Structure 1
Amino acid sequence: MKFTRVFAFMALAGLAGSAYATNGYFSHGYGMKAKGMAGAATTNTDDAFGGANNPAAMAFAGNRFDLGVDLFSPRREATMSNPMSTVTVKSDSNYFLIPEFGYTHQMNSDLALGVTVVGNGGMNTDYPAFANGYNMLGGQGRLGIDLMQLIVAPTAAYKITPNHSIGISPLIGYQRFRAEGMADPSTFPPAPTPIPNKGYDDSFGYGVRVGYLGKITPTVTIGAAYASKMNFERFKKYNWLFLENGDFDIPENYNLGASWQATSALKLALDYQRINYSGVKAVGAPPTQGGFGYDDVNVWKLGAEYKLNSAWTLRAGYSHTNNPIKGASAADCGAGSENCMEVTTNILAPAVIKDHATLGFTYTLASGNELTMAYMHAFKNDVSGYNAMSTGTDTIRMYQDSLGIQYSWKM
């Protein structure tokens, strides 16, 4: 446990400020090859990120070490409009470096062992205070929250036949959270009472991911992976913010995928991912019950890979998901809608992205090692909803860009 804590803090030195909020608080992909194809990686066998995508794929990955880093730039803002005024505030802290790595080793012709380490996150905002010292939600000073998550996935993959494999990845998680500038809405009117800042709190968690991969024809590969909910220790400093006495878990999720080697140069991949936010009350319960109101999401990912020549491989992708955050009108709130105040609550975490477009490439060096890059643009989206406290309308919006680079050693 001491080693795990030291390792977590070393990794979080690079993950500090983690702000992935692309599909809720999941990244659009893990590993630069996946990110270049909008995350369509369930059947990808040429990197060591199976612990985050599909553990069974690592049975075909050979011996390799992949080390990458993303420069991630989310742009978040919120608008509060009522009969008296309209104000828009943009969140600061717009650039983050987020590393990831994977290693796999072929123990024999059937068994591979390895490890994948990735960052997760997404609930990150940093809104400046108004001139009078108060912020958008009635607290004092800067307003925002910061969630950082590290997932370590030791992985074992085994070929049950020459073309079919299964895999398992125990998931070890570490997370750190901070909120500042908060206020107690129950004291409004006349005005919310500011809550003193508590600083960072952290916790460890665990779960498991299992997967299957099958090369059913020489040109068609299918795969599936399932990850249980990662159960974390409670945030003791924030038992007033998160339901179930400070419990904040990573939700259950699963993905299905298929790829088709259309020609010797062109491969197409399609993934479906389901993220069950409703299983984590802190994010899935409606604001009327103390949660953030996230809906479960369905993510579709389409990717293409084209081998231009022996050195260059090009990639592109597009993904779409339903919005986990819904808005509600004044009439809906009057009828007791569970979506009432959902937009206001998620000023703290405006995870409203629905669509991503990606590009990428790999350059293979004479040594056989690889240099991979990936670019992602998440298109601007906004959601509006009624604010019963101000009798006005709140709007949250966000768009994102990221540029990542990865170097891979083949051994």
Structure 2
Amino acid sequence: MTPALRSTLVLTLASLPLTALATNGYFMHGSSVKAQGMAGVSLALAHDSIKSASNPASLIALGSQYDAGLTFFDPKRSADINGSGFGLDGHYDGNADGPFWIPEAGFARRHSDRLAYGVALYANGGMNTSYTNNPFANFGSSGAAGVDLSQMFVTGSLAYKLSERHSIGAGVTYVYQRFSAEGLQAFDNPIWSASPGSVTNNGYDSADGWGIKLGWQGQVTDTLTLGVSWSSRIETDRFDKYSGLFAEQGGFDVPESYGIGFAWQVNPRWTLAGDWERIEYSKIKSVGNPLAFDAPLGAAEGAGFGWQDIDVFKLGVIYAASPQLTLRAGISHSDQPIPASQTFLNILAPGVIQNHASIGASWQLSPEQSISFSYTRALEEKVSGQSSIPGALGGGEANLEMSQNILGVAWQYRY
């Protein structure tokens, strides 16, 4: 990518209404509106051109098309502190910012019977909190407290048809992310941070990086299709303005993820599909390191959010109600990324959601065009702290809570 093209892309992404997500940890539960209508099920299906974000091998089954969509994301997040020796007890509402809008776009093109290519632009992760009533005020912090992490991905993919029933795909992903933190002055000093002055209230900083995706889809019987996908860890630039907050001097790489899925055509109208996905949060030190004082914030082994790796299980159905109308529904369940012992720092990032329930539909406007809708309820989840606030910070417990409403609409044009 030339420097001029890269600059243009970064400026374009920076101007989009990037938002912050928190569904399966801080990964989005579905890469496109159609996938969201099935709680994210996608690995063995060919929903749309944005689907290459989860399995690039699916492009060969799509033909040529354009896709564009917009998702309304409305999270409700809060924290409660009790038993604090420093007078932090109380309820803290983290919803001063939001709701948010998330864009998506893509295209796919069939070059030949065996080769297809495409590009997908999508949001895949992030986190946002904004507490007008600062939970850390009694430590010496001031103003509103919170963080804003947003990530936008662009994946260019190729798919090759090995045989009548099997295809493979490969993609190159560019990620642009930005981050800001405010209201953390209590930790912006030599006692707590390896880089005082680079902890809080420094505005937005950005970082970018590159990774790869690999995928396979195979029709193993006349009615059963399987899919496998892997996304590499993406090593990004550091957030230099926050080198005193994140471990490894501001490091915040994108975790590796992988999964396997199936799609079973029960009969001409009904399809049952499911995915298993693994997200390896613990290998990113700024995310996976536990809250401890063995090293200061920002150091190579500095404190992080203590997140665990998670498995995500998704199950969905598709019903072809008529030639014009297709209905979808799905549920998903994930492990809890935040241990009860790690809730205190996660007041800033309460990504505790474990369960989603989704519905969706597509309406064929013409032979070329269709419009799709989805609604997801991320069910309310609570994590109660257990020995979560260190004695040096007054002890007590921090309890986290979150729920979400997610509504999407998308347009598709086939040619």
Please confirm whether the aligned pair reaches a TM-score higher than 0.5, indicating the same fold.
yes
CA 1:138–1:297: 2 relative to 1, 3 Å: farther
Residues 35, 47 of structure 2: 8 Å contact kept: no
Structure 2 distance, partners of 1:184, 1:258, is 50
In structure 1, give the amino acid aligned to 2:227. Answer: G
1:372-387 aligned at under 5 Å gives the runs 372-385=372-385, 386-387=388-389
Kept in 1, the 8 Å contact 2:170–2:215? The answer is yes
Matching residue within 176, 181, 184 for 2:183: 181
Structure 2 residue matching 1:34: 3-state secondary structure: helix
Mean Cα deviation higher: 170-179 or 389-398: 389-398
Superposition pairs of residues 8-407 of structure 1, within 5 angstroms? 8-16=10-18, 18-82=19-83, 86-91=89-94, 92-129=96-133, 135=137, 138-185=140-187, 197-288=201-292, 289-328=302-341, 342-385=342-385, 386-388=388-390, 389-407=393-411
SS at match of 1:23: coil
**Cα distance in 1 for residues equivalent to 2:16 and 2:218:** 35
CA shift in 2, pair 1:188/1:67, >3 Å = same
Query: SS of 1:33's equivalent?
Result: helix
Measured after TM superposition, the shift of residue 96 of structure 1 is 0.4
Determine the C-alpha separation between the residues in 2 that align with 1:272 and 1:196: 37
Maintained 8 Å contact 1:75/1:94: no
Percent identity between matched residues is 36
Alpha-carbon offset, residue 187 of structure 1: 7.0
Unaligned runs of 5+ in 2: 293-301
Give the aligned residue type for 1:162.
Answer: E
One-letter amino acid matched to 1:41? S
Q: d(CA) in 2 for partners of 1:137 and 1:75? A: 26
- Give the conservation status (yes or no) of the 8 Å contact 1:46–1:60: no
Provide the secondary structure at the position in 1 that maps to 2:16: helix
- The answer to whether the 8 A contact 2:200-2:242 is kept is no
Residue type matched to 1:9 in 2?
A: L
> Which digits, 9 at most, give the CA deviation of each residue in 1:335-380, with x for residues without a partner?
xxxxxxx111000100000000000000011233110000000011
| Residue 266 of structure 1: how far off its partner (Å) | 0.3
With over 3 angstroms needed to count, the CA separation of the structure-2 counterparts of 1:366 and 1:251, relative to structure 1, is same
- Tell me, in whole angstroms, the C-alpha distance in 2 between the residues paired with 1:12 and 1:44: 31
Counterpart Cα distance in 1 of 2:326 and 2:206: 41
Q: Distance in 1 between matches of 2:138 and 2:11?
A: 32
8 Å contact from structure 1 (residues 134, 141) kept in 2: no
The equivalent residue for 2:296 is: none
Q: 1:64 to 1:135 in 2, by over 3 A?
A: farther
Unaligned runs of 5+ in 1: 329-341
TM-score under structure 1 length normalisation: 0.91
Deviation at 1:137, TM superposition (A): 6.2
Q: Work out the CA distance in 1 between the residues paired with 2:352 and 2:47.
A: 32
2: distance between equivalents of 1:306 and 1:409? Answer: 21
Distance 1:82 1:100, change over 3 A: same
Task: Quote the offset at 1:238 in angstroms.
Answer: 0.8
Contact 1:172 1:205 in 2 (8 A): yes
Q: Residue deviations 1:49-81, cap 9 Å, x none?
A: 233110001011100111011000011111111
Q: CA deviation at 1:46?
A: 3.5
